[in-house]
Amino acid sequence: MAVFQEWLSHLYAHLGYPQIILLMALESSLLPVPSELVMIPAGYLAHQGQLNPLLAIACGGLGSIFGAGINYLIGRSLGRAFLLRYGKYLLISEKKYHEAEALFLRNARISTFLGRFLPVIRHLISLPAGVFGMPLLPFVLLTGAGSALWCAVLVGFGYYLGEPAVTLVMRYTHELAYLSLVVLVLGAGWFMIRRR
């Protein structure tokens, strides 16, 4: 845990465009890195003149496309039956997958865009897009547009609310890091127990 915290603290201390891309890619894949912990501090740094707000938003959107693309490929290559049967080992609960799938099936394009604004769903909406073979170009464009808009909202919070917003976010970084580690350890433990 100390290594993970040190790595996360180092990224925040040197938060620049490559770090935004990396962290937002993790956020949009199956790893629990909340976008609020990335883009609000980026907005504050933009207010301080250390980052360009438009470039920070673009990097957040780009990272989200990379992370969502991983999920899209997982859905495309493994399929629905595999995800429903073994998704729990990838931290994908059947209930949450069904919620994302139901949202996606109502209207694939609108759901892909709007799914970027919904907690938990934003991590999973790319899976049914891959499973049901949504064309790659619309998926990338809609994911990028939705992610960039969400990043713009968070950067705006950091930019206009300043240090109090960042302080609040950073205050809970350690708690969220611990929670993330607990979830990963429990998932790995459950997998090992089921294998035995």
Percentage of residues in the chain with pLDDT exceeding 70?
74
Q: Mean per-residue pLDDT for 98-119?
A: 81
Q: Mean per-residue pLDDT for 95-123?
A: 80
Range with the poorest average pLDDT among 17-31, 76-90, 123-137: 76-90
Model pLDDT for residues 112-166, shown as the tens digit of each residue: 888 888 777 777 888 888 888 889 999 999 999 999 999 998 899 888 887 666 6
Q: Mean per-residue pLDDT for 83-111?
A: 78
Segments of the chain assigned E as strands: none
pLDDT of residue 76: 87
Assess whether pLDDT exceeds 70 at residue 27: yes
Q: With bands split at pLDDT 50, 70 and 90, how would you rate the model's confidence at 65?
A: very high
Q: With bands split at pLDDT 50, 70 and 90, how would you rate the model's confidence at 57?
A: very high
- The structure tokens listed for 120 are 């938990």
What whole-number distance in Å separates Cα of residue 131 and Cα of residue 73?
9
Domain ranges of the chain: 2-195
Neighbours of 52 (CB within 10 A): 13
**Element holding 29 (H helix, E strand):** none
**94-106 and 53-86 are packed helices; what angle lies between their axes, rounded to 10 degrees?**
120
**Which one, of 44, 42, 6, 30, lies nearest residue 148 by Cα?**
42
Which pTM value belongs to this model?
A: 0.74
